[in-house]
Structure 1
Amino acid sequence: MTEIDDTFRLAIAQANPTVGAVGKNLAKARQMREEAARMGADLIAFPELFIAGYPPEDLVLKPAFQAACMAAVEEFSRETDDGGPAVLIGTPWREKEALFNSYCMLDEGRITAIRHKVELPNYGVFDEKRVFQVGPMPGPLNFRGLRLGVPICEDIWEEEVCETLAETGAEFLISPNGSPYWTGKHDVRVNVAVSRVVESELPLVYVNQYGGQDELVFDGASFGLHADRSRAFQMAAFTEEVALTVWSRESGEWRCTEGPSVTLADTEELTWLACVHGLRDYVGKIGFPGVVLGLSGGIDSAICAAMAVDALGADKVHCVMMPYRYTSEESLKDAAGCAKALGVPYDIVPIAEPVEGFNAALKDLFSGREADVTEENIQSRARGTLLMAISNKFGPMVVTTGNKSEVSVGYATLYGDMNGGFNPIKDLYKTEVFKLAAWRNENRPQGCLGPDGVIIPPNIITKPPTAELRENQKDQDSLPEYDVLDAILTRLIEDECAVHDIVADGFDEATVKKVERLLYIAEYKRRQAAPGVKITRRSFGKDRRYPIINAFRDPGDPIPDFPEETERLYRFEE
């Protein structure tokens, strides 16, 4: 093999693996290596744990899965004796009783080096300490005369690994990642990478995964930095591709002379794409033929329908209007208009008979009691049952449509509008839903399969939200205005603020305490909710894990600054 002299041709595989699909992931790696070979690359680098798919969670503890991953890497290594590019690829790797998150160099028909991840993340959506052992501090690996450091994902979020690599002679850093998207994440990644570059005085290439996996969606957006912190290259977000970067050594310093230079989209577009790609991969990787959802004429179902069409195409999205006596003509018109604009199959299935059947069955048991939320929930559950029946009969997955504001305070019905397999807007507050709907009417991002132009009727965006489960019902009958509610929820959920601090920001104390109470008591509902795309720093599910039985309520008093020795004695009383 030709030694690396003063030119290094590195291909970046911004790839979309499927967790557990070892053979499929290997086939994708082969295809991408062939593409890199046509580009004349010396080396192609894949994301973290690519062969297994990321994150594999407890699947990685299964010995048969470990063996399949290792065998795939061994098989792939034998194919590198063909004179084509060498490969850096991530995989679980077992050594005796220890299981590591590892990165392997494949070259000259064999595995020439293996490095193990040192810093195992154990916060937020990550719990790698549960399944992997900490690797030994790594040194650089020798690639055809070039000394490469390969800090794996979290290894660049702390100083020690990159510092060790620099001290032991690394000339160039390639960091494979499985870094999921949330709003503002790209800036966070770049700031971390800049810190490591400043400390090591080495160029760094950040190789990130793309694609959806359960609640997580990976945006790719791989990039490189020169040793002077300047941007070397930038790949697009939410695309699967192989990009060639060409590096030249001048006066002992590596500079990128060829590579992609993409300007990343604004927040609204990235958020829309995250929801669309998360839904697309959830449906596609599991193997559903399409989706079905209830189209009520409201904003949440309309935006979910639009996202579903952008993700899957109109022919794979079935919308169903399920009217009852409280459904307005306005809602019927808006739902029909949305379905027409999206070009989706659309049916109307009235729910009067099943609802009245339930009411008749319960008439004697409920005798003497006034109608209340019980009868409202029967309507919602009748709709949920009908959607599940359509799913069972024809095969599409039910998309559920509750936003984060509603899910936070329990403004949703278990086994009713919470029915479904996936929720693309689960982590979007209501105010964000309105903003995104208006944005999509004016923009059609690249890769989206829906039509241009206005696809959500403007009246859906401007009219007051209502569940239409009783006469003249409006959401704000029982909830604060959404701009107030969302501001309070953001402080309670994303920032874990105390009630006292939220009140100090100008919010009514009684309202804050009411919202906090609703947030806590709805935890049991959220535990039974469908998964949905993570957009914020603290999504429900893997991120924010509160107990269902939870008697704590913030009294709203300033939190005293206790001495350490007495802090353990302090308890709030209900």
Structure 2
Amino acid sequence: MLRITLAQLNLTVGDIEGNVARMVAAAQQAAREQADLIVFSELSLCGYYPGDLLEESAFLQRIDAGMAALQQASAALPQLHWVVGAPTPTQGPGKKLHNSLLVLQGGAVRLQYAKQLLPTYNIFDERRHFEPGPDVAKVLRIGNAQVGLLVCEDGWNDHGADYATNPFERLRDAAPDLVVSINASPSHLGKREQRHQIFAGASRRHGLPVLYVNQVGGHDQLVYDGASFAAEPDAGVVFEAARFVEDVRTLQFDNGHFRTADGAAPAPVPAEGIPTMEFYRQQIVLGLKDYARRCGFTQVVVGSSGGIDSALTLALAAQALGPDNVVGVTMPSRYSSSGSVDDSAQLCQNLGVRLHTHPIAELVAGYAQQFEASFGQPLAGLPLENLQARIRGTVLMEYSNAFGHLLLTTGNKSEIAVGYCTLYGDTNGGLGLIGDLYKTEVFALSRHVNAHAGRELIPQAIIDKEPSAELAPGQRDVDSLPPYPVLDEVLKLVIEGERLSTPEHAAARAFVAQLESDEAGRALVQRVRSMVARNEYKRRQAPPIVRVRPRAFGSGRQMPIAARYV
């Protein structure tokens, strides 16, 4: 029998000393629980993903010091084997580093394995920094078990379609009793089920039990949900760790089966994860919580327009940081309805959030007057509308500078996609919480937030209100855009759907195909494609957003600005 502790930790990129401390604490717990083996996540020593920090000599020296500290700690727990992830130097031509898995025991490195398949797609860019490892399998006897070892992507090519080599097949030929895979697998809608499908399928095909250990926590745009799991060839996924929180858990492995630390059968694992809207809520809350903490912010500020986007942003921020650490600012202009101001007040009262009022009508009038005096032309139309947004953005940045709050931008994916936002205005901020949610999803998540709370946090008046920027008399979003239920389906195809095969994207393809069956529909789709293309320059300058869908704006969708698309 082998006792294994999986250490699903919230590690910080670059915080070598802090990561070592968390890993040592988990190892000490594992030792108390009489574990033979503790498994950490991919690049656990430095956190995933360090990017071009890997090119800095001082950073690499700190990694060396951290590895020495781990080896020293392992010497103090000589019965325990540690599976850790870290960059290690290469020999010969190519990149100077491997993305490696190391097994420490008694102060020494017992085994080292270099990741073979380096993802360079979507949000991944590992080939920029790492050299692929050799096509070899690594197996180590621990106690009475032969343990085979993989690093993340090495286990994702068992279908053989993405790479010429399949490390899982090579490992099967080495005949281990158990496969341990260390991972840094970012979360998005449907990702948990995809992991289960791929690794439980590999477990079944090769007749090998699999222990999959993931990290947890938010890093810039990405959120890692943990959800580490164990799979058996006949039973599929038989154990799952918690999602969106740290979880250090000891399991027994005996005769090809996983049991809890006390020998009981693990609780059944549901095939489906949490519902979509609850997934969005938890992912965004953790993303903000860790982004603010790692960047040194304790409080945030949000421009409260009385609309659905700012309302949802405020509600999620209050859940992530506590209402006492969230501030709303309402900035009425001559075009703001009294209902919007009242709705902002009711929203912040429901949330327990402070609301400040900063009217901008006089500022707008002063700008307009000086513009005409300087340039001989009245300020009207789109320039006047954008001026209001930019004044609001400036006020919010003033507040952020004066009081030290992180400014949260409030744009949704639909608006960001087609450029229905003002650069240096409502795009100002340090992080966007709902920038990967389509507008229809913003409404759905707002309703879910109320249902989850068991009361009306976001006033129904805001949810029922027709979307409007309120920058001109009688302005409505549908005056400039197709209705959101139509726009969102087209955007799902344009931004994500041509690459993905989920039922959602199949439905979007069918919807657009029907739309394009007549001339007016074809013109609408072409118009949307053109709007997406010509607004790349805005997205390039926008703040990072918390990623919740398979293909988000930012590093996951890299498009040129000065290009001809259509």
1-structure distance, mates of 2:268, 2:299: 35
Equivalent in the alignment of 2:293: 284
Alpha-carbon spacing, 1:289–1:255, altered in 2? closer, same or farther (3 Å): closer
2-structure distance, mates of 1:348, 1:242: 46
2-structure distance, mates of 1:329, 1:245: 59
Counterpart of 1:236, as a letter, is A
2-structure distance, mates of 1:475, 1:523: 20
Once the two structures are TM-superposed, the CA of residue 369 in structure 1 deviates from its matched residue by 5.1
- 1:116 corresponds to which of 86, 105, 114: 114
Equivalent in the alignment of 2:17: 23
1-structure distance, mates of 2:393, 2:474: 22
2-structure distance, mates of 1:414, 1:261: 49
Deviations 1:150-187 (A, max 9, x none): 11000001132121112113111111111111111111
Equivalent in the alignment of 1:564: none
Deviations 1:192-246 (A, max 9, x none): 1023212321100111111111111011111110122422201121111201211
Once the two structures are TM-superposed, the CA of residue 261 in structure 1 deviates from its matched residue by 5.0
Equivalent in the alignment of 1:142: 141
Secondary structure of 1:120 counterpart: coil
Do 2:5 and 2:249's aligned partners in 1 also have CA atoms closer than 8 Å? yes
TM normalised by structure 2 equals: 0.92
1-structure distance, mates of 2:55, 2:257: 40
Alpha-carbon spacing, 1:366–1:248, altered in 2? closer, same or farther (3 Å): same
Do 1:74 and 1:111's aligned partners in 2 also have CA atoms closer than 8 Å? no
Deviations 1:324-377 (A, max 9, x none): 111111101110011011101111111122212211220134534571110011
Matches within 5 A, 1:437-456: 437-444=446-453, 453-456=455-458
Q: Does 1:466 align with 2:472?
A: no
Do 1:183 and 1:537's aligned partners in 2 also have CA atoms closer than 8 Å? yes
2-structure distance, mates of 1:403, 1:379: 19
Secondary structure of 1:150 counterpart: strand
Equivalent in the alignment of 1:515: 528
Q: Does 1:38 align with 2:32?
A: yes
Q: Percentage identity across aligned positions? A: 40
Q: Does 1:50 align with 2:47?
A: no
* Misfit runs of 4+, over 4 Å: 257-263, 497-503
2-structure distance, mates of 1:134, 1:550: 33
Q: How many residues align?
A: 537
Do 1:66 and 1:94's aligned partners in 2 also have CA atoms closer than 8 Å? no
Do 1:235 and 1:262's aligned partners in 2 also have CA atoms closer than 8 Å? no
Q: Does 1:428 align with 2:437?
A: yes
Equivalent in the alignment of 2:493: 491
Deviations 1:509-547 (A, max 9, x none): 111111111111110000000001111121111111111
Secondary structure of 2:376 counterpart: coil
Segments of 5+ residues of structure 2 without an aligned counterpart are 159-165, 500-504
TM normalised by structure 1 equals: 0.90
Return 112-121 or 141-150, whichever deviates more: 141-150
Matches within 5 A, 1:535-574: 535-553=548-566
Equivalent in the alignment of 2:162: none
Secondary structure of 1:361 counterpart: helix
Do 1:11 and 1:45's aligned partners in 2 also have CA atoms closer than 8 Å? yes
Secondary structure of 1:398 counterpart: strand
Once the two structures are TM-superposed, the CA of residue 109 in structure 1 deviates from its matched residue by 2.2
2-structure distance, mates of 1:368, 1:270: 51
Equivalent in the alignment of 1:389: 398
Do 2:39 and 2:83's aligned partners in 1 also have CA atoms closer than 8 Å? yes
Return 531-540 or 28-37, whichever deviates more: 28-37
Do 1:235 and 1:260's aligned partners in 2 also have CA atoms closer than 8 Å? no
Equivalent in the alignment of 1:242: 248
Segments of 5+ residues of structure 1 without an aligned counterpart are 1-6, 445-451, 554-574
2-structure distance, mates of 1:485, 1:500: 13
Do 1:11 and 1:36's aligned partners in 2 also have CA atoms closer than 8 Å? yes
Do 2:371 and 2:377's aligned partners in 1 also have CA atoms closer than 8 Å? no
Deviations 1:45-94 (A, max 9, x none): 11100111101111112222223223212221222233453211111111
Secondary structure of 1:511 counterpart: helix
2-structure distance, mates of 1:357, 1:138: 71
Secondary structure of 1:158 counterpart: coil
Q: Does 1:104 align with 2:102?
A: yes
Equivalent in the alignment of 2:502: none
2-structure distance, mates of 1:247, 1:238: 25
Matches within 5 A, 1:78-477: 78-81=72-75, 82-83=77-78, 85-96=80-91, 98-136=96-134, 137-159=136-158, 160-249=166-255, 253-256=256-259, 257-258=263-264, 259=266, 263=270, 264-368=273-377, 371-444=380-453, 453-477=455-479
2-structure distance, mates of 1:329, 1:349: 14
2-structure distance, mates of 1:425, 1:174: 35
